[in-house]
Structure 1
Amino acid sequence: MAHELIAICDECKQAVADGEGSLWVDMAEVDQHTINVRAWKQLEAKPATDRLQTYSFSSLLSYPEPAPWRVHHAACDPAPDANAYAIEVHRCRSWADLVVWTSHLMGKSWLAHTDWSKVLEGAGESLGRRIVPTVPPTLHR
């Protein structure tokens, strides 16, 4: 069976075969991002006007980085004991799989604290390093 998408291990930079690894996010990093954003808002917010919160351009540059999704072979995983939300790579082998997972993840309150959008954008533009299409997709912009 030919795959539309391939998962590339962040550690060894090799393709991850079915049953050999996962796409995952560390939930401790998700929780930390939530805390960091809350602290950032308290430190950087300008006085609200008409119930609209504003931030300076320079403060936006210090916005906390979201928790990264990673791909690893089980043997390459630097944090095998992490409290991770993991998706086995064999469950993300097609564009349809990626759409279904995105739909599922959109129901998670913590998704916005991750870089899932970068995973999707990277795959869609064939520039990703975690999920890579076997054939560059056609983009209609």
Structure 2
Amino acid sequence: MTGPGHPPAGAGPAEGELLALCDACHNPVADGRGEVWVTARELADHHRAMHHWERQNPGPARTVGAILAQPPAVRWHVTHHHAACAGLLPADAHAFGVEHCRTWAGLADRTRLLAGHDWLADTDWDTLLDDARNGAGRRITPAPGHHAP
């Protein structure tokens, strides 16, 4: 697919504004060769952990220690399809191909689509975006010669 937010068909990992880097091998993931994903199990586990944390730390006023002990957000994964890095994508994965986050417009469009899910706030999507924008991304990062708009 081509158009706003999508690279030309067959674009390799360095042909867009952004690179997707594999969590396992740290190499760029080519279009059609990997996914960005979280699992329903990770989200359910986080929901249970947050419920427990909230029972242990009733609000609205909470100590700094309690806030620091809050369960971490569910981490978005970026992986190649092959067995050496990730194997098969989990059956309960909420996933999309790396080709959908090859440009800033594509990343913005993906964010718009994800925003319709109430579980997005339980993930580290905001950290993934901030890291990409700041050039500190280890999952999504500006390609050489490209910078955040």
Calculate the TM-score normalised by the size of structure 2: 0.84
Judge which range, 71-80 or 112-121, deviates more: 71-80
Unaligned ranges ≥5, structure 2: 1-7, 9-14
Aligned residue runs from structure 1 range 1-141, under 5 A: 1=8, 2-45=15-58, 53-75=60-82, 76-77=85-86, 80-134=89-143, 135-138=146-149
| 8 Å contact kept, 2:18–2:102 | yes
Instruction: Report the AA paired with residue 36 of structure 2.
Output: L
- Output the CA distance in 2 between the equivalents of 1:94 and 1:80: 23
1:66 Cα deviation from its structure 2 partner: 1.0
Q: Pick closer, same or farther for the CA change 1:63–1:78 going to 2, 3 Å.
A: farther
- Output the CA distance in 2 between the equivalents of 1:35 and 1:63: 12
- How high is the sequence identity, in percent, across the aligned residues? 36
1:122 Cα deviation from its structure 2 partner: 0.6
Q: Pick closer, same or farther for the CA change 1:60–1:20 going to 2, 3 Å.
A: same
